[in-house]
Amino acid sequence: MKTKDNREVMLVALQDDDREQFVLDNQEAFKYGATQEFGMRDNHFEEEGEIISRDTIIHAISGEHAEAYRIVCEGEKVGGVVIRIDPRQDTGELELLFVSPHTHSKGIGYAAWMAVEELHPEVKIWETVTPYFETRNIHFYVNRCGFHIVEFFNSHHPDPNDPEMMLQPAESGEDEHEGMFRFQKRKA
């Protein structure tokens, strides 16, 4: 796949000796996105100082039917993607997609997503989620990649697949605006 400026983007299977750097790069990218939006006011940390925890990333990489790839542009590792394919239902889930903040706005994320779709033409429905405050992600998924917002998980409508959210009562006093958008993309 090619970027806006015609640079080659490839997905390369994540190697065991690159897992730790993959985690660190993912955390850097997610932290950058959140602090750009909220500055130092951010309180959306999964673990001390990190927007996304190491455990969350390792769980995604190691999950059933998980496929983890490095996004490589012109020979340089510039991001990563983790997907999960359910072969019984022709569905796929985008678990993680990140691009180094140093390479944002160059079409790398979009080229990587197109490579994912090309890698799995059998998938008829793709799904992903992103926090409500990640406006850059929302723009990317909806306006660039063709996803649609199909659900908004929050304290009044918890995600049934997220045990922590299910335990939080709607009257807990938490910010009502906390939540996650669920996106879906269906092949025509």
Residues facing residue 66 across a β-bridge:
84
- pTM score of the predicted model: 0.84
Residue 126 domain-assigned? no
Each residue's pLDDT, cut to its tens digit, for the chain (188 residues) gives 898 888 999 999 999 999 999 999 999 998 886 666 555 444 555 555 677 889 999 999 998 999 999 999 999 999 999 999 998 889 999 999 999 998 888 999 999 999 999 999 999 999 999 988 888 899 999 999 999 999 998 888 888 776 665 445 544 444 444 788 999 999 97
Domain with 71, as residue range(s), is 8-102
Rounded distance, CA 77 to CA 99, Å? 9
Residue 177 confidence (pLDDT): 45
Rounded distance, CA 21 to CA 84, Å? 21
Residue 165 domain-assigned? no
Query: What's the angle, vertex CA 161, arms to CA 156 and CA 165, rounded to 5?
Result: 40
Residue 86 domain-assigned? yes
Q: Are 108 and 71 in contact (CB under 8 A)?
A: yes
Residue 152 domain-assigned? no
Residue 61 domain-assigned? yes
What is the number of structural domains in the chain?
A: 1
Residue 34 confidence (pLDDT): 65
Buried b (16+ CB within 10 A) or exposed e, 124-144: eebbbbbbbbbebbbebbeee
74 to 6, 7, 32, 70: CA distances (angstroms): 10, 7, 23, 12
Phi, psi (deg, nearest 5) at residue 102 = -75, -10
> Which CATH number covers residue 57?
3.40.630.30
Phi, psi (deg, nearest 5) at residue 135 = -60, -35
- Nearest one of 32, 11, 147, 145 to 77, comparing CA atoms: 11
Residue 51 confidence (pLDDT): 76
